[in-house]
Amino acid sequence: MDHQSPASYQTAVETAWPVGLGTGPGRILLLGPPGVGKGTQAREMERLWGIPHISTGDVLRSKVTQGTSLGRLAQGIMKRGELVPDSLVCEIVATRLQEPDTFCGCIFDGFPRTLGQAVWLEGRLAELGPGSSIIAVGIRMAHKHLLRRITGRRTCPMCQTVYNVYFNPPKREGLCDIDGAALVQRTDDSEQVFEERMRAYEMLSAPVVGHYRALGRFVSVNGDRPIGEIAAEIASTVARLRQ
């Protein structure tokens, strides 16, 4: 586990981001399999650069909670156990991109998930003018490490503290350090579910990676390192591609 302090993390990223390139990295897409740490990197970019983290799942849930027409439509589809179609996902993302906090940049996480979504997003951002293009960053990690990250997770049902039996185990096996409650493993943290999710991710992501690679706007970073080191490499790579 990475215990780098926020101060040292910020120093590492700011050192990697050259003066004169503005205050933020523009629009970035984070790609990577389940458990690789996309959310962690996105949240830190959001904090350091002041650009929003756009998670498709979060935006979708927000629309459902707000009871918007798009949210009601998506909710009906999900209740039937069906996948929300690309056209509706794109329409929901389009409404998010109309909000002022996205005008100087954002971090996409979980979108675009398919080649169709990627092509749509390229067209949508092109309407915003020069400098709106996406840089796609793939975070990679050895399969065995990802498997341990997922299958080793245990959660306290009382305080929701998350442990990992391999990387961050509780002091007493199977019990929460805070309240002593018996830790539980989510059903979708099993090895079988993980392998199914990996196969689905690889099938969907390959065309998206190929799309951005062909455009010269894809980079891959090693995610099996401390958080700050990964962030610094992302910052320096994005800076190089933005020049």
Please give the positions annotated as active site.
38, 113, 153, 186, 197
- Helices and strands in the chain: count of H runs, count of E runs: 9, 7
Q: How far is CA 133 from CA 3, 6, 196, 211, in A?
A: 33, 29, 32, 13
How far is C-alpha 95 from the chain's CA centre?
19
Got the DSSP string for 13-68?
HHHHS-TTS-SS--EEEEE--TTSSHHHHHHHHHHHH---EEEHHHHHHHHHHHT-
Closest residue by Cα to residue 74 from 100, 56, 99: 56
With tokens 């994005």, the residue in question is 238
Q: How far is CA 116 from CA 51, 60, 70, 89, 121, in A?
A: 25, 18, 19, 11, 9
With tokens 């539980």, the residue in question is 184
State the Cα–Cα distance between residues 213 and 104, nearest whole angstrom: 24
